[in-house]
Amino acid sequence: MKIMVINGPNLNLTGMREPDIYGNQTYADLEAYIEDYAEKAGAEAVVVQSNSEGEIIDYIHYCLGSCDGIVINAGAYTHYSYAIHDAIKAVDIPTVEVHISNIHKREEFRHHSVISPACVGQICGLGFMSYTLAIDYLLANAIPSDDENN
């Protein structure tokens, strides 16, 4: 089971600013936390980050034929990128939307996600655990492709 975890704009700054919202742990800590968790669960997580919308779309396209599930924190693109919505729909791979913070408790513009309709579900407000809970879901529900061993 191979899962791509895609992080969007500014998430590389996690732990450096706004610790009250995003916590004290760094982006490197987040990567290690996700990779370790997936490995212990018998899966492979490939964690990527980009500040560019086009690159995020390229990562989603790359998953076609190479990944069994996607976890995506599209950052602020969540709230307005129809292009990311369309890319998730196009690849038709089970995709879980995640957020570190509870977007519904924050500014009004963060309450709406335009990518949610393309995803199987949304997990938010649970810090880094949002990612591992999404991985748990994919492990229980995504179907591994034939050409992979686990």
**In the complex, which residues of this chain contact ligand CA2 (CB under 6 A)?**
10-11, 13-14, 16-18, 22, 73, 75-76, 78, 99-101, 103, 110
Q: Which helix (H) or strand (E) holds 136?
A: helix 129-141
Q: Which of 59, 85, 99, 131 is catalytic?
A: 99
22 belongs to the catalytic site: yes
85 belongs to the catalytic site: no
Q: Considering the complex, state which of residue 89 and residue 110 has its C-beta at the smaller distance from ligand CA2.
A: 110
Q: Considering the complex, state which of residue 42 and residue 117 has its C-beta at the smaller distance from ligand CA2.
A: 117
Q: Considering the complex, state which of residue 66 and residue 122 has its C-beta at the smaller distance from ligand CA2.
A: 122
- CB-CB neighbours of 48 under 10 Å: 14
DSSP-derived secondary structure for 46-100: EEEE-S-HHHHHHHHHHTTTT-SEEEEE-GGGGGT-HHHHHHHHHHT--EEEEES
Instruction: List the catalytic residues.
Output: 22, 99
